Amino acid sequence: MPDPSAYLFPPVDPLRTGMLQVDELHTIYWEEVGNPQGIPVVFLHGGPGAGLSVQHRRFFDPRHYRVILFDQRGAGKSTPLGETRGNTTQLLVSDMERLRELMGIDRWLVFGGSWGSTLALAYGQTHPERCLGFVLRGVFLCTTREIDWFIDGARWFHPEIHEEFAAVIPEAERGDLLQAYYRRIMDADPDIYWPAVRAWSRFEGRRVFLMPQPEEAPCDTLDLGLGRLEAHYMANLGFFEEGQLLKNVERIAHLPAVIVHGRYDVICPPVTAWQLHRHWPGSVVKMVPDAGHGAMELGISRELVAATEAFRRFGRF
């Protein structure tokens, strides 16, 4: 079976990198890749809190795209790591605008996966005039139903993983695992929050791919950023009104969009991608028949590259 990287463009180093101070507390890391005169595109990582990977640069032909990538507040190389104060979707949207202005970009293609798709939609619905189109993977609309599925739906497909996740919490508190974890993750005592963020990160990581993958060693940067920020955003419903992103699709419905989703995605169920597509008549949905949630799964990486190549050639999908 081909390696998923076979469909990606070769590894590429950034043209430049920097740190942008967005308020008195937060400074975000950014990098620019590809052709400075190319089609501008902004890459939005998942989580929230997962941060960037060097693989993320490889969905775009560097000869034709000017790719802007950044670690969102509290993630990756941005500082302070795992910080939830001054960390809302609306502030992330404002960070994107500051970054766009810093780069001198008028409009850009918006590319986001998982939580990145959530942020992409929030940004587009706030600033439709700044968007060329959207590439969305593993769609997540941050509704109560999706959050409940993320926490408790796991028991239907991965009962042993869910049981291990719940076992960290005293039995009396297991009726609301999100709030039980949130209390521990936000505790100031490292002896309390480290076991919680590591358990949270592992709970998600073991369900990402359709086929089991070798478990990676714990990574403090990923575990703290992902565990703390996912719990923070889920506990606050993403700082949205219920159903907001679906209700406001009309604001961006005139723009082209491709939606790539794994048929067996148990992190973000396919029904969400289908609902978004049905509300967005001009969108194209690619339901990958042999994939879960991971961007680096074979079929998903192939469709993401196909999407950026289609937009490069035709300005549509």
Q: Amino acid letter at 302?
A: R
Q: Is 265 a catalytic residue?
A: yes
Burial 32-53 (b: 16+ CB within 10 A, else e): bbbeeebbbbbbbbbbbbbbbe
Of the residues 61, 71, 95, 265, only one is catalytic, namely 265
189 Cβ contact partners less than 8 Å away, ≥ 6 residues apart: none
Of the residues 162, 283, 293, 301, only one is catalytic, namely 293
Q: Is 176 a catalytic residue?
A: no
- DSSP-derived secondary structure letter, 114: T
Burial 126-141 (b: 16+ CB within 10 A, else e): bbbebbbbbbbbbbbb
Q: Is 114 a catalytic residue?
A: yes
195 Cβ contact partners less than 8 Å away, ≥ 6 residues apart: 168, 184
φ and ψ of 84, to 5 deg: -100, -15
Nearest one of 219, 216, 194 to 206, comparing CA atoms: 216
- DSSP-derived secondary structure letter, 204: H
Contact between residue 65 and residue 308 where contact means Cβ atoms under 8 Å apart: yes
Rg (CA), the chain: 18
Of the residues 45, 56, 71, 114, only one is catalytic, namely 114
Distance CA 120, CA 116 (A): 6
Residues involved in catalysis: 114, 265, 293
